[in-house]
Structure 1
């Protein structure tokens, strides 16, 4: 797992790269693909199987991996040029674009909305979403859980300002939830499934029927402009890995469990939720692009994202062959 020091090292390297355009130019013909990943999903499976290494070997490209626990720091590194490719939920790219990160949306995949939720402790006096007013609700600011929290609160007539929002990474929020220093936690799988397995946890509301579950593959803009075929090959290979994994779900459950250390029974929960589909990887679809623009507009209107964004400006589509 990448440490805070390692993340700062990546960003420091990126800052140095930003000051040396000649180095960026030298990387035009890629010899390495640097991937930021979180310990779940298709990227985790591809890493374990060496799928991308095999696909890119004939082009003389090696693959290196850096692990993150959430999307915001991953995209910081990617947008600054310290990484070339990564995957996150829907909200992190908005903050990365607003911060001027040099990145593109290059692919998308769908998950289960039931894989995101706000949870409370079983004995909590909080019985409905409305009861969250004035309470401490933890989520990683700028993550997909931020969007889920906004939408779940809104459905019950509340705004994000009606709760005491605490910006905590999943591991820190898990500890705070366990020791009772927060009232509620907004989180995604596999953290959600792990929390649900604890009999002292109660789901207050999932995102089912409230939030569409789009996630995105993003790539550094300079890398993509110079190596578009590499991105095409990577998305194609990830789609193959996803379809294969979805078609052999029991084998995939075991494999992902070994990768993550999450027990098989919990991994099974995450992969069999309604709408979960590892085989949904594709280049950016019109629906995914429209969803992201609507989300950007909403978060700007709420004052969460500091500027109006045109997400279509950084949607990358492969050139017709």
Structure 2
């Protein structure tokens, strides 16, 4: 009996030793690189999932959703995510603050949904009627940018209004409760407010905003996960093409995945008419114009050369 136990012990020891030699190989073979993706209100994830572009990935994706660009930018700066979608104005704001990120993909959308909203019964008629009024928005957001551009267009400045920096959910509540006179926001919040009859558009972003948004990644992700980011970018571009060929199907999927009514999902999707574009001279020129405006109004303290904030070595549009 004792001999049998010794033989069993030797067999067990040999098996464990063999397993310990093999396990690193097996673990290495089974482990995929993880792409840490930031997202805003489920937009990217919903698009890719609806189009079937999250299938057959050679890497894993860890999604983190943010309510606005500011917390996403903070996560990029803290290296908590590898990349995420961010508008032109908030990207500049975070770059001016010293974040080590670069835009590696660009898209243009109809800027209507980046808008200043008021309650349906508000007496305000246009941007000039905002003098002395309170406006809720996120600091450095595209809503903040459009607010300043709208004021400038009628000869006003930020000193002529009261800008209150409040996250989207709180800003919506503040508007509906009458705690602020206006709310400067973006899609899908604009479409949600309109379709629910909680607000109307006072000023839209057409002619005020370039409509540019980007995928921005940390320097470390661009260095170490470049081929993965390239693959992801291609999937997003293909998914965007698919979405406009299947608007009803995508609208329903967007509503389900993001958790908003289908009417609002369909409105913001069709109205934005997003198209992915190469990072070319026009994109850089438009972004420089936005940076110069931020310098003019004092949101950034020194001139920013935006050409250094792009990685244009990824392929062009799908």
Q: Normalising by structure 2, what TM-score?
A: 0.84
- Note closer, same or farther for the CA distance 1:232–1:283 as it changes in structure 2 (3 Å cut): farther
* Poorly superposed stretches of 4+, deviation over 3 Å: 40-43, 47-50
Q: Deviations over 1:27-53 (max 9, x none)?
A: xxx821101101253443225666346
Report the counterpart of residue 300 of structure 1 in structure 2: 295
SS in 2 for 1:307: coil
Aligned to 1:35: 37
Instruction: Name the residue aligned to 1:277.
Output: 273
Match for residue 75 of structure 2 among 77, 84, 98: 77
Moved more, 63-72 or 107-116: 107-116
The residue that corresponds to 1:24 in the other structure is none
* Matches of 2:313 and 2:231, distance apart in 1: 11
1:26 match: none
Gaps of 5+ in 2: 1-31
Give the Å deviation of 1:237.
1.2
Query: Is residue 195 from structure 1 mapped to residue 172 from structure 2 by the alignment?
Result: no
2:95 is aligned to 97
Specify the alignment match of 1:156 in structure 2.
154
Which structure 1 residue ranges, 5 or more long, are not aligned? 1-29
Secondary structure of 2:88's aligned partner:
coil
Could you say if the C-alpha distance between residues 41 and 277 of structure 1 is closer, same or farther in structure 2, counting changes exceeding 3 Å?
A: farther
CA distance in 2 between counterparts of 1:188 and 1:40 reads 14
- Counting matched residue pairs gives 285
Change beyond 3 A, Cα 1:222–1:306: same
Match of residue 25 from structure 1:
none
1:142, distance to aligned residue in structure 2 (A): 1.0
Matches within 5 A, 1:128-139: 128-139=126-137
**Residues 42-121 of structure 1: matches in 2 within 5 Å?**
42-47=44-49, 51-52=53-54, 54-55=56-57, 57=58, 61-121=59-119
Equivalent residue of 1:262, what SS? coil
Q: CA deviation at 1:189?
A: 1.3
Tell me how large the CA RMSD over aligned residues is. Answer: 2.0
TM norm structure 1: 0.83
1:286, distance to aligned residue in structure 2 (A)? 2.5
Q: Provide the C-alpha distance between the structure 2 equivalents of 1:192 and 1:95, rounded to a whole number of angstroms.
A: 22
Greater Rg, structure 1 or structure 2?
2
User: Alignment partner for residue 206 of structure 1, among 204, 207, 210?
Assistant: 204
User: What does residue 7 of structure 1 align with?
Assistant: none
